[in-house]
Structure 1
Amino acid sequence: MRASVSLDFIRNFSRNRAAVAGLIIVIAVVAIAALAPLLFPRNPLRIVARPEIWPFINPSYPLGTDSLGRDIAAMIAHGARTTLAISLFASITATVIGVSVGATAAYFGGWADRVLMRITELFQTVPALIFVLTIVVILGQRIENVVIAVGLVTWTSIARLTRAEFLTLREREFVLACRTMGMSNWRIILGEILPNALPPIVVLSSLSVAGAILYESAVSFLGLGDPNIASWGRLIGDGRSLIRTSWYICAIPGATIMITVLALNLVGDGLNDALNPKLRDR
Protein backbone atom coordinates (compact mmCIF):
# COMPACT_ATOMS: atom_id res chain seq x y z
CA MET A 1 0.00 0.00 0.00
CA ARG A 2 2.75 2.41 0.98
CA ALA A 3 4.72 1.52 -2.17
CA SER A 4 1.65 2.33 -4.26
CA VAL A 5 1.21 5.67 -2.52
CA SER A 6 4.89 6.49 -3.08
CA LEU A 7 4.64 5.60 -6.76
CA ASP A 8 1.54 7.75 -7.13
CA PHE A 9 3.35 10.66 -5.48
CA ILE A 10 6.39 10.30 -7.75
CA ARG A 11 4.17 10.01 -10.82
CA ASN A 12 2.12 13.07 -9.88
CA PHE A 13 5.19 15.11 -9.02
CA SER A 14 6.99 14.18 -12.25
CA ARG A 15 4.06 15.48 -14.30
CA ASN A 16 4.98 19.00 -13.24
CA ARG A 17 8.00 19.76 -15.40
CA ALA A 18 8.68 23.05 -13.66
CA ALA A 19 8.80 21.28 -10.30
CA VAL A 20 11.19 18.66 -11.68
CA ALA A 21 13.44 21.41 -13.04
CA GLY A 22 13.32 23.14 -9.67
CA LEU A 23 14.23 19.90 -7.90
CA ILE A 24 17.22 19.43 -10.20
CA ILE A 25 18.42 22.95 -9.40
CA VAL A 26 17.96 22.39 -5.66
CA ILE A 27 19.91 19.11 -5.85
CA ALA A 28 22.69 20.89 -7.76
CA VAL A 29 22.90 23.65 -5.12
CA VAL A 30 22.97 21.06 -2.33
CA ALA A 31 25.70 19.13 -4.16
CA ILE A 32 27.82 22.27 -4.57
CA ALA A 33 27.37 23.04 -0.88
CA ALA A 34 28.34 19.51 0.11
CA LEU A 35 31.42 19.46 -2.15
CA ALA A 36 32.57 23.00 -1.28
CA PRO A 37 35.38 21.84 1.07
CA LEU A 38 36.72 19.58 -1.69
CA LEU A 39 36.32 22.07 -4.54
CA PHE A 40 37.66 25.02 -2.53
CA PRO A 41 39.66 23.68 0.45
CA ARG A 42 41.04 27.08 1.41
CA ASN A 43 39.24 29.60 3.55
CA PRO A 44 36.80 31.37 1.16
CA LEU A 45 37.41 34.67 2.97
CA ARG A 46 41.12 34.53 2.20
CA ILE A 47 42.57 37.03 -0.28
CA VAL A 48 43.94 35.00 -3.19
CA ALA A 49 44.45 37.44 -6.09
CA ARG A 50 44.21 41.06 -7.09
CA PRO A 51 40.85 42.75 -6.57
CA GLU A 52 38.09 42.94 -9.17
CA ILE A 53 39.11 40.28 -11.64
CA TRP A 54 36.11 39.96 -13.91
CA PRO A 55 34.47 36.55 -14.49
CA PHE A 56 35.82 34.21 -17.19
CA ILE A 57 39.07 36.14 -17.54
CA ASN A 58 41.31 34.10 -15.23
CA PRO A 59 40.58 30.31 -15.31
CA SER A 60 41.81 30.01 -11.73
CA TYR A 61 38.93 32.25 -10.65
CA PRO A 62 36.06 31.48 -13.05
CA LEU A 63 33.62 33.88 -11.36
CA GLY A 64 36.25 36.54 -10.70
CA THR A 65 37.30 38.16 -7.45
CA ASP A 66 35.62 40.73 -5.26
CA SER A 67 36.81 44.14 -4.10
CA LEU A 68 39.31 42.55 -1.69
CA GLY A 69 40.63 39.87 -4.02
CA ARG A 70 38.64 36.94 -2.64
CA ASP A 71 37.49 34.14 -4.96
CA ILE A 72 33.79 34.65 -5.68
CA ALA A 73 33.27 31.03 -6.75
CA ALA A 74 34.65 29.82 -3.41
CA MET A 75 32.43 32.26 -1.53
CA ILE A 76 29.38 31.15 -3.53
CA ALA A 77 30.07 27.45 -2.82
CA HIS A 78 30.82 27.91 0.89
CA GLY A 79 28.03 30.47 1.17
CA ALA A 80 25.61 27.83 -0.09
CA ARG A 81 26.49 25.73 2.95
CA THR A 82 25.76 28.63 5.28
CA THR A 83 22.59 29.78 3.56
CA LEU A 84 21.07 26.32 3.16
CA ALA A 85 21.93 25.26 6.72
CA ILE A 86 20.42 28.39 8.25
CA SER A 87 17.33 28.20 6.04
CA LEU A 88 16.73 24.48 6.67
CA PHE A 89 17.08 24.69 10.44
CA ALA A 90 15.05 27.90 10.56
CA SER A 91 12.28 26.17 8.61
CA ILE A 92 12.39 23.19 10.99
CA THR A 93 12.20 25.57 13.97
CA ALA A 94 9.23 27.40 12.45
CA THR A 95 7.48 24.13 11.62
CA VAL A 96 7.90 22.73 15.13
CA ILE A 97 6.59 25.94 16.73
CA GLY A 98 3.78 26.39 14.21
CA VAL A 99 2.55 22.79 14.39
CA SER A 100 2.69 22.79 18.20
CA VAL A 101 0.73 26.03 18.50
CA GLY A 102 -1.80 25.25 15.77
CA ALA A 103 -2.46 21.68 16.92
CA THR A 104 -2.88 22.68 20.57
CA ALA A 105 -5.18 25.59 19.73
CA ALA A 106 -7.45 23.58 17.41
CA TYR A 107 -7.68 20.35 19.37
CA PHE A 108 -8.33 21.78 22.82
CA GLY A 109 -10.21 24.91 21.70
CA GLY A 110 -11.69 27.28 24.27
CA TRP A 111 -9.31 29.55 26.13
CA ALA A 112 -6.27 27.74 24.73
CA ASP A 113 -7.40 28.52 21.18
CA ARG A 114 -8.14 32.17 21.99
CA VAL A 115 -4.83 32.79 23.79
CA LEU A 116 -2.64 31.04 21.23
CA MET A 117 -4.34 32.71 18.27
CA ARG A 118 -3.99 36.15 19.87
CA ILE A 119 -0.28 35.45 20.35
CA THR A 120 -0.06 34.38 16.70
CA GLU A 121 -1.78 37.59 15.59
CA LEU A 122 0.59 39.60 17.79
CA PHE A 123 3.60 38.10 16.03
CA GLN A 124 2.01 38.82 12.65
CA THR A 125 1.59 42.52 13.44
CA VAL A 126 5.35 43.03 13.87
CA PRO A 127 7.25 43.68 10.59
CA ALA A 128 9.12 40.42 10.02
CA LEU A 129 12.46 41.80 8.83
CA ILE A 130 12.63 44.36 11.64
CA PHE A 131 11.84 41.59 14.14
CA VAL A 132 14.63 39.39 12.71
CA LEU A 133 17.17 42.22 12.84
CA THR A 134 16.17 43.12 16.40
CA ILE A 135 16.60 39.55 17.63
CA VAL A 136 19.99 39.18 15.92
CA VAL A 137 21.21 42.47 17.37
CA ILE A 138 20.09 41.44 20.87
CA LEU A 139 21.37 37.85 20.79
CA GLY A 140 24.52 38.44 18.72
CA GLN A 141 25.78 37.84 15.20
CA ARG A 142 25.98 34.03 15.25
CA ILE A 143 24.45 31.39 12.96
CA GLU A 144 22.30 29.85 15.68
CA ASN A 145 20.88 33.27 16.56
CA VAL A 146 19.93 33.91 12.93
CA VAL A 147 18.20 30.51 12.88
CA ILE A 148 16.24 31.39 16.01
CA ALA A 149 15.33 34.82 14.66
CA VAL A 150 14.09 33.55 11.28
CA GLY A 151 12.24 30.67 12.91
CA LEU A 152 10.44 33.03 15.29
CA VAL A 153 9.04 35.19 12.49
CA THR A 154 7.98 32.46 10.05
CA TRP A 155 5.95 30.07 12.22
CA THR A 156 2.67 31.97 12.21
CA SER A 157 1.45 30.87 8.77
CA ILE A 158 2.24 27.24 9.63
CA ALA A 159 0.34 27.58 12.91
CA ARG A 160 -2.77 28.92 11.14
CA LEU A 161 -2.67 26.18 8.50
CA THR A 162 -2.20 23.48 11.15
CA ARG A 163 -5.12 24.87 13.15
CA ALA A 164 -7.37 24.82 10.08
CA GLU A 165 -6.42 21.21 9.27
CA PHE A 166 -6.95 20.07 12.87
CA LEU A 167 -10.33 21.78 13.07
CA THR A 168 -11.37 19.82 9.99
CA LEU A 169 -10.09 16.48 11.27
CA ARG A 170 -10.82 16.52 15.00
CA GLU A 171 -14.51 15.64 14.56
CA ARG A 172 -13.95 12.86 12.02
CA GLU A 173 -15.15 9.34 12.81
CA PHE A 174 -11.70 7.86 13.36
CA VAL A 175 -10.88 10.56 15.94
CA LEU A 176 -14.18 10.00 17.76
CA ALA A 177 -13.46 6.27 17.74
CA CYS A 178 -10.05 6.87 19.31
CA ARG A 179 -11.65 8.93 22.06
CA THR A 180 -14.20 6.20 22.67
CA MET A 181 -11.37 3.69 23.04
CA GLY A 182 -9.83 5.88 25.75
CA MET A 183 -6.72 7.02 23.88
CA SER A 184 -4.94 10.01 25.41
CA ASN A 185 -5.23 13.43 23.78
CA TRP A 186 -1.56 13.63 22.82
CA ARG A 187 -1.64 10.14 21.34
CA ILE A 188 -4.60 11.13 19.20
CA ILE A 189 -2.91 14.39 18.16
CA LEU A 190 0.47 12.86 17.29
CA GLY A 191 -0.59 9.44 16.10
CA GLU A 192 -3.91 10.00 14.37
CA ILE A 193 -4.61 13.62 13.39
CA LEU A 194 -1.12 14.95 12.63
CA PRO A 195 -0.24 12.30 10.00
CA ASN A 196 -3.43 13.17 8.12
CA ALA A 197 -2.71 16.91 8.35
CA LEU A 198 0.92 16.65 7.23
CA PRO A 199 0.69 17.04 3.40
CA PRO A 200 -0.24 20.77 3.33
CA ILE A 201 2.11 21.43 6.25
CA VAL A 202 4.99 19.82 4.34
CA VAL A 203 4.23 22.01 1.32
CA LEU A 204 4.18 25.21 3.39
CA SER A 205 7.36 24.19 5.24
CA SER A 206 9.17 23.69 1.94
CA LEU A 207 8.08 27.16 0.84
CA SER A 208 9.26 28.61 4.14
CA VAL A 209 12.81 27.47 3.31
CA ALA A 210 12.79 29.89 0.37
CA GLY A 211 11.58 32.70 2.63
CA ALA A 212 14.27 31.85 5.17
CA ILE A 213 16.93 32.21 2.47
CA LEU A 214 15.72 35.73 1.76
CA TYR A 215 15.72 36.66 5.46
CA GLU A 216 19.21 35.25 5.97
CA SER A 217 20.48 37.08 2.90
CA ALA A 218 18.94 40.34 4.13
CA VAL A 219 20.58 39.94 7.55
CA SER A 220 23.98 39.22 5.99
CA PHE A 221 23.56 42.04 3.46
CA LEU A 222 23.09 44.52 6.30
CA GLY A 223 26.25 43.26 8.00
CA LEU A 224 24.51 41.47 10.89
CA GLY A 225 25.48 37.93 9.90
CA ASP A 226 28.43 36.00 11.29
CA PRO A 227 31.52 37.92 10.05
CA ASN A 228 33.66 34.76 10.01
CA ILE A 229 31.50 32.82 7.56
CA ALA A 230 30.91 33.29 3.83
CA SER A 231 27.34 34.12 2.84
CA TRP A 232 25.54 35.09 -0.34
CA GLY A 233 23.96 38.13 1.28
CA ARG A 234 27.28 39.26 2.69
CA LEU A 235 28.89 39.07 -0.76
CA ILE A 236 26.16 41.31 -2.16
CA GLY A 237 26.65 43.73 0.73
CA ASP A 238 30.41 43.85 0.22
CA GLY A 239 29.99 44.65 -3.48
CA ARG A 240 27.25 47.26 -3.27
CA SER A 241 29.73 50.16 -3.15
CA LEU A 242 31.11 49.01 -6.53
CA ILE A 243 27.77 48.46 -8.24
CA ARG A 244 28.59 51.02 -10.95
CA THR A 245 32.02 49.66 -11.90
CA SER A 246 32.09 45.98 -10.86
CA TRP A 247 28.42 45.07 -10.86
CA TYR A 248 29.15 41.35 -11.23
CA ILE A 249 30.15 41.17 -7.53
CA CYS A 250 26.52 41.79 -6.61
CA ALA A 251 24.93 40.22 -9.69
CA ILE A 252 26.39 36.72 -9.28
CA PRO A 253 25.23 36.04 -5.69
CA GLY A 254 22.01 37.91 -6.42
CA ALA A 255 21.26 35.61 -9.35
CA THR A 256 22.19 32.61 -7.20
CA ILE A 257 19.68 33.64 -4.54
CA MET A 258 16.99 34.32 -7.14
CA ILE A 259 17.45 30.96 -8.89
CA THR A 260 17.56 29.00 -5.63
CA VAL A 261 14.45 30.66 -4.21
CA LEU A 262 12.61 30.20 -7.51
CA ALA A 263 13.59 26.51 -7.60
CA LEU A 264 12.34 25.96 -4.04
CA ASN A 265 9.04 27.65 -4.87
CA LEU A 266 8.66 25.43 -7.94
CA VAL A 267 9.32 22.35 -5.81
CA GLY A 268 6.74 23.56 -3.30
CA ASP A 269 4.18 23.97 -6.06
CA GLY A 270 4.99 20.48 -7.30
CA LEU A 271 4.54 19.03 -3.82
CA ASN A 272 1.20 20.80 -3.56
CA ASP A 273 0.06 19.32 -6.87
CA ALA A 274 1.23 15.84 -5.89
CA LEU A 275 -0.13 15.80 -2.33
CA ASN A 276 -3.39 17.71 -2.83
CA PRO A 277 -6.03 15.23 -4.06
CA LYS A 278 -8.05 18.07 -5.62
CA LEU A 279 -5.12 18.94 -7.92
CA ARG A 280 -3.80 15.50 -8.84
CA ASP A 281 -5.87 15.24 -12.00
CA ARG A 282 -5.57 18.89 -12.96
Structure 2
Amino acid sequence: MDALKRYFRSPPAVIGLVLLLLVIAMAASAGWLFPRDPLALAGRPLQWPLANPRFLLGTDNSGRDIAAQIFYGARISLLIGIVATVIAVAIGIVIGALAGFYGGKVDTVLMRITEAFQTLPNFLLLLVLVVVFGSTLPTVMVAIGIVSWPAPARLTRAEFLSLRNREFVQAGRTIGLSDLKLIFGEILPNALPPVIVYASVVMAVAILLESSLAFLKLSDPNVASWGNLIGLGRDVLRVQWYVSAIPGFAIVLTVLGVSLVGQGLNDALNPRLKGR
Protein backbone atom coordinates (compact mmCIF):
# COMPACT_ATOMS: atom_id res chain seq x y z
CA MET A 1 0.00 0.00 0.00
CA ASP A 2 2.84 2.41 0.82
CA ALA A 3 4.50 1.63 -2.51
CA LEU A 4 1.21 2.34 -4.29
CA LYS A 5 0.92 5.72 -2.54
CA ARG A 6 4.50 6.60 -3.50
CA TYR A 7 3.78 5.65 -7.10
CA PHE A 8 0.74 7.91 -7.40
CA ARG A 9 2.59 10.79 -5.74
CA SER A 10 4.82 10.95 -8.83
CA PRO A 11 3.21 12.95 -11.71
CA PRO A 12 5.44 11.37 -14.40
CA ALA A 13 4.51 7.89 -13.16
CA VAL A 14 0.80 8.73 -13.33
CA ILE A 15 1.22 10.17 -16.84
CA GLY A 16 3.01 6.99 -17.90
CA LEU A 17 0.23 4.84 -16.46
CA VAL A 18 -2.41 6.90 -18.31
CA LEU A 19 -0.51 6.53 -21.60
CA LEU A 20 -0.11 2.78 -21.08
CA LEU A 21 -3.80 2.37 -20.20
CA LEU A 22 -4.69 4.33 -23.32
CA VAL A 23 -2.70 1.90 -25.49
CA ILE A 24 -4.32 -1.06 -23.70
CA ALA A 25 -7.76 0.48 -24.31
CA MET A 26 -6.93 0.88 -28.01
CA ALA A 27 -5.89 -2.77 -28.22
CA ALA A 28 -9.01 -3.95 -26.39
CA SER A 29 -11.43 -1.89 -28.48
CA ALA A 30 -9.86 -2.55 -31.89
CA GLY A 31 -12.23 -5.40 -32.81
CA TRP A 32 -15.27 -3.40 -31.71
CA LEU A 33 -14.40 -0.13 -33.46
CA PHE A 34 -12.97 -1.77 -36.58
CA PRO A 35 -14.66 -5.16 -37.11
CA ARG A 36 -13.15 -5.59 -40.60
CA ASP A 37 -9.68 -6.91 -41.34
CA PRO A 38 -7.32 -3.94 -40.79
CA LEU A 39 -5.26 -5.05 -43.80
CA ALA A 40 -8.28 -5.13 -46.14
CA LEU A 41 -8.64 -2.45 -48.78
CA ALA A 42 -11.02 0.23 -47.50
CA GLY A 43 -10.91 3.18 -49.89
CA ARG A 44 -8.84 5.32 -52.21
CA PRO A 45 -5.11 5.21 -51.43
CA LEU A 46 -3.28 8.06 -49.68
CA GLN A 47 -6.20 10.06 -48.36
CA TRP A 48 -5.04 12.63 -45.83
CA PRO A 49 -6.31 12.54 -42.23
CA LEU A 50 -9.73 14.19 -41.78
CA ALA A 51 -10.17 14.48 -45.56
CA ASN A 52 -12.77 11.70 -45.44
CA PRO A 53 -15.07 11.18 -42.41
CA ARG A 54 -14.76 7.41 -42.89
CA PHE A 55 -11.00 7.53 -42.41
CA LEU A 56 -10.14 9.95 -39.61
CA LEU A 57 -6.41 9.15 -39.86
CA GLY A 58 -6.39 8.73 -43.62
CA THR A 59 -5.41 5.75 -45.77
CA ASP A 60 -2.05 4.25 -46.67
CA ASN A 61 -0.44 3.46 -50.03
CA SER A 62 -2.80 0.53 -50.63
CA GLY A 63 -5.99 2.23 -49.46
CA ARG A 64 -6.14 0.59 -46.04
CA ASP A 65 -7.54 2.46 -43.04
CA ILE A 66 -4.65 3.83 -40.96
CA ALA A 67 -6.80 4.19 -37.84
CA ALA A 68 -7.68 0.48 -37.95
CA GLN A 69 -4.01 -0.41 -38.32
CA ILE A 70 -3.08 1.85 -35.39
CA PHE A 71 -5.63 0.23 -33.09
CA TYR A 72 -4.78 -3.34 -34.13
CA GLY A 73 -1.09 -2.42 -34.08
CA ALA A 74 -1.46 -1.65 -30.36
CA ARG A 75 -2.28 -5.33 -29.87
CA ILE A 76 0.82 -6.42 -31.77
CA SER A 77 3.13 -4.02 -29.94
CA LEU A 78 1.83 -5.01 -26.51
CA LEU A 79 1.98 -8.71 -27.39
CA ILE A 80 5.55 -8.44 -28.65
CA GLY A 81 6.61 -6.34 -25.68
CA ILE A 82 5.09 -8.67 -23.08
CA VAL A 83 6.15 -12.00 -24.63
CA ALA A 84 9.69 -10.85 -25.44
CA THR A 85 10.06 -9.38 -21.94
CA VAL A 86 8.87 -12.59 -20.26
CA ILE A 87 11.35 -14.63 -22.30
CA ALA A 88 14.26 -12.24 -21.67
CA VAL A 89 13.57 -11.89 -17.94
CA ALA A 90 13.04 -15.64 -17.48
CA ILE A 91 16.36 -16.49 -19.14
CA GLY A 92 18.11 -13.65 -17.34
CA ILE A 93 16.80 -14.70 -13.93
CA VAL A 94 17.92 -18.31 -14.36
CA ILE A 95 21.39 -17.38 -15.64
CA GLY A 96 21.90 -14.57 -13.14
CA ALA A 97 20.58 -16.56 -10.19
CA LEU A 98 22.86 -19.53 -10.83
CA ALA A 99 25.88 -17.30 -11.42
CA GLY A 100 25.29 -15.19 -8.32
CA PHE A 101 24.39 -18.05 -6.01
CA TYR A 102 27.21 -20.46 -6.83
CA GLY A 103 29.94 -18.02 -7.85
CA GLY A 104 33.34 -19.45 -8.73
CA LYS A 105 33.60 -21.41 -11.98
CA VAL A 106 29.84 -21.42 -12.53
CA ASP A 107 29.81 -17.65 -12.33
CA THR A 108 32.81 -17.36 -14.65
CA VAL A 109 31.34 -19.62 -17.34
CA LEU A 110 27.88 -18.06 -17.27
CA MET A 111 29.24 -14.51 -17.33
CA ARG A 112 31.53 -15.35 -20.27
CA ILE A 113 28.45 -16.60 -22.14
CA THR A 114 26.64 -13.39 -21.22
CA GLU A 115 29.55 -11.28 -22.44
CA ALA A 116 29.63 -13.26 -25.70
CA PHE A 117 26.01 -12.29 -26.31
CA GLN A 118 26.79 -8.67 -25.50
CA THR A 119 29.72 -8.54 -27.91
CA LEU A 120 27.36 -8.09 -30.85
CA PRO A 121 24.81 -5.26 -30.84
CA ASN A 122 21.28 -6.47 -30.06
CA PHE A 123 19.86 -5.42 -33.40
CA LEU A 124 22.62 -7.07 -35.41
CA LEU A 125 22.13 -10.38 -33.58
CA LEU A 126 18.37 -10.01 -34.01
CA LEU A 127 18.83 -9.58 -37.77
CA VAL A 128 20.85 -12.80 -37.90
CA LEU A 129 18.20 -14.77 -36.00
CA VAL A 130 15.37 -13.44 -38.16
CA VAL A 131 17.23 -14.16 -41.39
CA VAL A 132 18.06 -17.71 -40.26
CA PHE A 133 14.75 -18.71 -38.64
CA GLY A 134 12.24 -16.56 -40.49
CA SER A 135 10.20 -13.46 -39.78
CA THR A 136 6.90 -14.81 -38.50
CA LEU A 137 5.49 -13.05 -35.46
CA PRO A 138 6.26 -15.89 -32.98
CA THR A 139 9.83 -16.11 -34.31
CA VAL A 140 10.33 -12.36 -33.97
CA MET A 141 9.05 -12.37 -30.38
CA VAL A 142 11.30 -15.23 -29.36
CA ALA A 143 14.29 -13.70 -31.16
CA ILE A 144 13.83 -10.36 -29.39
CA GLY A 145 13.62 -12.17 -26.05
CA ILE A 146 16.80 -14.11 -26.81
CA VAL A 147 18.84 -10.99 -27.62
CA SER A 148 17.52 -9.09 -24.57
CA TRP A 149 18.37 -11.40 -21.65
CA PRO A 150 21.99 -10.38 -20.78
CA ALA A 151 21.06 -7.17 -18.93
CA PRO A 152 18.44 -8.85 -16.67
CA ALA A 153 20.98 -11.64 -16.06
CA ARG A 154 23.63 -9.20 -14.86
CA LEU A 155 21.12 -7.38 -12.65
CA THR A 156 19.89 -10.65 -11.11
CA ARG A 157 23.48 -11.80 -10.52
CA ALA A 158 24.31 -8.55 -8.72
CA GLU A 159 21.29 -8.93 -6.46
CA PHE A 160 22.14 -12.56 -5.66
CA LEU A 161 25.74 -11.66 -4.84
CA SER A 162 24.51 -9.15 -2.27
CA LEU A 163 21.90 -11.50 -0.78
CA ARG A 164 23.45 -14.98 -0.78
CA ASN A 165 25.31 -14.49 2.53
CA ARG A 166 22.47 -12.81 4.41
CA GLU A 167 21.18 -14.26 7.67
CA PHE A 168 17.96 -15.68 6.23
CA VAL A 169 19.96 -17.62 3.61
CA GLN A 170 22.32 -18.97 6.25
CA ALA A 171 19.31 -19.97 8.32
CA GLY A 172 17.88 -21.83 5.32
CA ARG A 173 21.13 -23.71 4.86
CA THR A 174 21.15 -24.59 8.56
CA ILE A 175 17.72 -26.22 8.42
CA GLY A 176 18.72 -28.17 5.29
CA LEU A 177 16.94 -26.37 2.47
CA SER A 178 18.06 -27.46 -0.99
CA ASP A 179 19.87 -25.09 -3.32
CA LEU A 180 16.80 -24.78 -5.55
CA LYS A 181 14.61 -23.82 -2.59
CA LEU A 182 17.18 -21.30 -1.42
CA ILE A 183 17.52 -19.79 -4.92
CA PHE A 184 13.88 -19.63 -5.96
CA GLY A 185 12.11 -19.69 -2.63
CA GLU A 186 14.27 -17.49 -0.42
CA ILE A 187 16.65 -15.26 -2.41
CA LEU A 188 14.74 -14.65 -5.65
CA PRO A 189 11.67 -13.01 -4.04
CA ASN A 190 14.01 -10.48 -2.41
CA ALA A 191 15.95 -9.94 -5.64
CA LEU A 192 12.91 -9.46 -7.89
CA PRO A 193 11.92 -5.77 -7.37
CA PRO A 194 14.79 -4.23 -9.41
CA VAL A 195 14.39 -6.94 -12.05
CA ILE A 196 10.67 -6.18 -12.35
CA VAL A 197 11.47 -2.49 -12.71
CA TYR A 198 14.05 -3.20 -15.41
CA ALA A 199 11.49 -5.31 -17.27
CA SER A 200 9.85 -2.05 -18.37
CA VAL A 201 13.08 -1.11 -20.13
CA VAL A 202 13.19 -4.49 -21.86
CA MET A 203 9.57 -4.07 -22.97
CA ALA A 204 10.19 -0.61 -24.41
CA VAL A 205 13.29 -1.80 -26.27
CA ALA A 206 11.39 -4.85 -27.58
CA ILE A 207 8.73 -2.61 -29.14
CA LEU A 208 11.43 -0.48 -30.77
CA LEU A 209 13.32 -3.53 -32.06
CA GLU A 210 10.23 -4.97 -33.73
CA SER A 211 9.45 -1.59 -35.28
CA SER A 212 12.98 -1.40 -36.64
CA LEU A 213 12.67 -4.87 -38.15
CA ALA A 214 9.33 -3.97 -39.72
CA PHE A 215 10.76 -0.74 -41.11
CA LEU A 216 13.36 -2.85 -42.91
CA LYS A 217 10.55 -5.22 -44.05
CA LEU A 218 12.00 -8.06 -41.98
CA SER A 219 9.06 -8.50 -39.62
CA ASP A 220 5.84 -10.42 -40.26
CA PRO A 221 4.05 -8.65 -43.16
CA ASN A 222 0.78 -10.44 -42.40
CA VAL A 223 0.03 -8.46 -39.23
CA ALA A 224 -1.04 -4.85 -38.78
CA SER A 225 1.93 -3.51 -36.85
CA TRP A 226 3.07 0.07 -36.38
CA GLY A 227 6.48 -0.79 -37.76
CA ASN A 228 5.00 -2.24 -40.95
CA LEU A 229 2.99 0.95 -41.45
CA ILE A 230 6.09 3.11 -40.95
CA GLY A 231 7.96 0.99 -43.47
CA LEU A 232 5.12 1.33 -45.95
CA GLY A 233 5.14 5.11 -45.56
CA ARG A 234 8.85 5.28 -46.29
CA ASP A 235 8.11 5.20 -50.04
CA VAL A 236 5.93 8.32 -49.84
CA LEU A 237 7.67 10.07 -46.95
CA ARG A 238 8.31 13.37 -48.76
CA VAL A 239 4.70 13.89 -49.83
CA GLN A 240 2.37 11.81 -47.60
CA TRP A 241 4.53 11.95 -44.48
CA TYR A 242 1.55 11.23 -42.24
CA VAL A 243 1.62 7.53 -43.20
CA SER A 244 4.86 7.12 -41.22
CA ALA A 245 4.35 9.95 -38.73
CA ILE A 246 1.11 8.63 -37.17
CA PRO A 247 2.41 5.15 -36.23
CA GLY A 248 5.72 6.72 -35.24
CA PHE A 249 3.87 8.97 -32.79
CA ALA A 250 2.01 5.92 -31.42
CA ILE A 251 5.33 4.14 -30.83
CA VAL A 252 6.79 7.19 -29.07
CA LEU A 253 3.80 7.48 -26.73
CA THR A 254 3.83 3.76 -25.93
CA VAL A 255 7.56 3.63 -25.22
CA LEU A 256 7.29 6.82 -23.16
CA GLY A 257 4.41 5.37 -21.16
CA VAL A 258 6.23 2.11 -20.45
CA SER A 259 9.41 3.98 -19.48
CA LEU A 260 7.58 6.34 -17.11
CA VAL A 261 5.74 3.42 -15.49
CA GLY A 262 9.08 1.68 -14.98
CA GLN A 263 10.59 4.78 -13.40
CA GLY A 264 7.54 5.15 -11.16
CA LEU A 265 7.88 1.54 -10.03
CA ASN A 266 11.55 2.13 -9.31
CA ASP A 267 10.71 5.09 -7.08
CA ALA A 268 7.88 3.19 -5.38
CA LEU A 269 9.83 -0.02 -4.72
CA ASN A 270 13.15 1.59 -3.82
CA PRO A 271 13.67 0.91 -0.10
CA ARG A 272 15.57 4.17 0.32
CA LEU A 273 12.36 6.08 -0.40
CA LYS A 274 10.26 4.37 2.27
CA GLY A 275 10.92 7.05 4.80
CA ARG A 276 9.50 9.82 2.66
TM-score normalised by length of structure 2 = 0.98
Structure 1 position 22, deviation (Å) = 0.7
The aligned runs of 1:174-253 (5 Å cut-off) are 174-253=168-247
Q: Which residue number in structure 2 is paired with residue 86 of structure 1?
A: 80
Match of 2:11 among 6, 17, 27: 17
**CA distance in 1 between partners of 2:106 and 2:28 (Å):** 43
**CA distance in 1 between partners of 2:102 and 2:123 (Å):** 32
Q: Which residue number in structure 1 is paired with residue 258 of structure 2?
A: 264
Q: Residue 150 in 1 paired to residue 144 in 2?
A: yes
* 1:204-254, Cα deviation, whole Å (9 max, x unpaired): 012210010000111111111111111100100000111111000010000
**CA distance in 2 between partners of 1:210 and 1:12 (Å):** 23
**CA distance in 2 between partners of 1:90 and 1:66 (Å):** 29
**CA distance in 2 between partners of 1:201 and 1:129 (Å):** 22
* 1:163-198, Cα deviation, whole Å (9 max, x unpaired): 000000000000000000000000011111000011
Structure 1 position 279, deviation (Å) = 3.4
Q: Which residue number in structure 1 is paired with residue 97 of structure 2?
A: 103
Q: Which amino acid aligns with 2:265?
A: L
Q: Which amino acid aligns with 1:189?
A: I
Q: Which amino acid aligns with 1:112?
A: V
Question: SS in structure 2 opposite 1:81?
Answer: helix
In structure 1, stretches of 5+ residues that fail to align are 1-6
Q: Does the 8 A contact of 1:273 with 1:280 survive in 2?
A: no
Match of 2:46 among 52, 60, 69: 52
List, as ranges, runs of 4+ consecutive aligned residues in structure 1 with deviation greater than 6 Å.
none
In structure 2, stretches of 5+ residues that fail to align are none
**CA distance in 1 between partners of 2:137 and 2:17 (Å):** 26
**CA distance in 1 between partners of 2:4 and 2:175 (Å):** 36
Q: Which amino acid aligns with 2:71?
A: A
Q: Which residue number in structure 2 is paired with residue 4 of structure 1?
A: none
Structure 1 position 129, deviation (Å) = 0.5
What is the total number of aligned residue pairs between the two structures? 276
Match of 1:119 among 109, 113, 123: 113
Q: Which amino acid aligns with 1:31?
A: A
Q: Which amino acid aligns with 2:150?
A: T
Q: Which residue number in structure 1 is paired with residue 22 of structure 2?
A: 28
Q: Does the 8 A contact of 1:142 with 1:226 survive in 2?
A: yes
Q: Which residue number in structure 2 is paired with residue 77 of structure 1?
A: 71
Q: Which amino acid aligns with 1:226?
A: D
Structure 1 position 271, deviation (Å) = 0.3
Question: SS in structure 1 opposite 2:67?
Answer: helix
TM-score normalised by length of structure 1 = 0.96
Structure 1 position 141, deviation (Å) = 1.4
* 1:27-85, Cα deviation, whole Å (9 max, x unpaired): 11011111211111111111110011111121211100011110000001111111110
Structure 1 position 280, deviation (Å) = 4.3
Q: Residue 159 in 1 paired to residue 114 in 2?
A: no
**CA distance in 1 between partners of 2:226 and 2:274 (Å):** 36
**CA distance in 2 between partners of 1:281 and 1:180 (Å):** 33
**CA distance in 1 between partners of 2:273 and 2:120 (Å):** 34
Q: Residue 274 in 1 paired to residue 268 in 2?
A: yes
